[in-house]
Amino acid sequence: MTFATPLALLALVAIPLAIAGYVLLERGRTRTAERFAAAAMLPNVVERAPGWRRHIPFAVFLLALTAMLVGIARPHAALSVKRQQATVVVAIDTSRSMAARDVAPTRLDAARATIRRFLEQLPKQYRVGIVSFASTAQVVAPATANRELVDQALDELRPGAGTALGDAIASAVQVAKSVPAEANAHGRTPAASILLISDGAPDGGRISPAEALRRAAAAHIPISTVALGTPDGIVVVPHSGGFVERIRVPPNPAALRTIAKRSGGRFFTDSKTVDLSSVYRELGSRVGKVNKNEEITVAFAGGAAVLMLIGAALSTGLLRRLP
């Protein structure tokens, strides 16, 4: 325990002075009683003496005074409190197949809606980062508590080409690790989780999914995945001369299921009904606790008030007098 104003503890000298005064007062009462009757006759004059119990109210008041004087020094203590910070990095597939309309209005728009529903469950102080990936991965929103920035980043996503799953995971891990360590958290970055939304298997990229998974495991970051699309998905690709190519883009959830399983995350499918609340619960269970230096003056003041009330009740009940 530490004190913001330790010099105030000098007031504790009042405690031994109060004890000395109480002893003198008790002796004075004894001498006063002897003026009215001899010591041998006192049992016949006084029906029942309170004995040692008469000292209980004073002891309680003494404790109250001690708590009050210590509170004046503004004590601080290291308390174990729940860590309030956590980070969710959303990696969203923006490959060409995400323009398919088998999931209305498009797979990409359905992914946006899924993410927004999920973010509504998160506490406002949690940071959220957005990574988009097609042939490459790029950070479109760093981990931030500014939800307006995140919402704007989601609106600006546009379909591209390729599905660089490994690059996306590696970038998401880097975003999570870049969050500053919490105060009083012994240099640890906040708990983090990655949510990966895609419709296909890896296609292109500089980093393999296996290497990216190793990086996530080293950082203790689980990856939950959402597979979008139906076997009937089709994208329309216009070419020069007015020619239109219709390409079938059935989803390939096998890779996403494997990523979730190996990283300790959850696998989801069907964006229309997917409930990501389990991702939030998993993240909340990993938030953990940290030691935080908190002022506890209020606790001492409250304790002193309660002790004074107890002392008053004891004085009234045992001695039939007000303190």
The more confident residue out of 191 and 257 is: 257
The more confident residue out of 258 and 295 is: 258
pLDDT single digits (tens) 33-76: 555 555 555 555 455 555 667 778 888 888 988 988 888 888 88
Looking up tokens 């989780």, which residue turns up?
A: 193
pLDDT average, residue stretch 266-292:
69
Per-residue pLDDT band at 312 (split at 50, 70, 90): confident
The more confident residue out of 258 and 182 is: 258
Looking up tokens 């003041």, which residue turns up?
A: 301
What is the model's pTM?
0.65
Residue 267 has pLDDT above 70, yes or no: yes
The more confident residue out of 270 and 170 is: 170
Q: CA-to-CA distance for 281 and 90, rounded, in angstroms?
A: 16
Least confident stretch, 17-31, 106-120, 191-205: 17-31
pLDDT average, residue stretch 275-289:
68
Fold classification of 84-287 is Rossmann fold (3.40.50)
Helices (H), the chain: 14-36, 42-45, 56-72, 107-121, 147-155, 165-177, 209-218, 254-263, 277-285, 297-319
Question: Which class for 126: exposed (0-12), middle (13-18), buried (19 or more C-beta within 10 A)?
Answer: buried
pLDDT single digits (tens) 109-151: 999 998 998 888 888 888 999 999 999 999 999 999 999 999 9
DSSP state string for 264-279: T--EEE-TTT--THHH
Least confident stretch, 9-18, 216-225, 281-290, 297-306: 281-290
Averaged pLDDT of the chain = 82
Residue 24 has pLDDT above 90, yes or no: no
3-state secondary structure of 142: strand
- Closest to 318 measured CA to CA, from 25, 27, 56, 63: 56
User: Does the N-terminal peptide bond of residue 105 adopt cis geometry, omega within 30 degrees of 0?
Assistant: yes
Which range among 103-117, 186-200, 230-244, 294-308 has the greatest average pLDDT? 103-117
Q: In degrees, to the nearest 5, what angle opens at C-alpha 122 toward C-alphas 174 and 151?
A: 70
Domain boundaries, the chain: 2-78+294-319, 84-287
CA 305 to chain CA centroid, Å, is 32
* Predicted local confidence at residue 289, as pLDDT: 55
* Predicted local confidence at residue 225, as pLDDT: 92
The more confident residue out of 29 and 191 is: 191
Per-residue pLDDT band at 184 (split at 50, 70, 90): very low
Per-residue pLDDT band at 275 (split at 50, 70, 90): confident
Per-residue pLDDT band at 313 (split at 50, 70, 90): confident
* Predicted local confidence at residue 252, as pLDDT: 86
- Closest to 80 measured CA to CA, from 287, 282, 219, 304: 287
Q: CA-to-CA distance for 118 and 82, rounded, in angstroms?
A: 22
* Predicted local confidence at residue 185, as pLDDT: 47
pLDDT average, residue stretch 11-27:
83
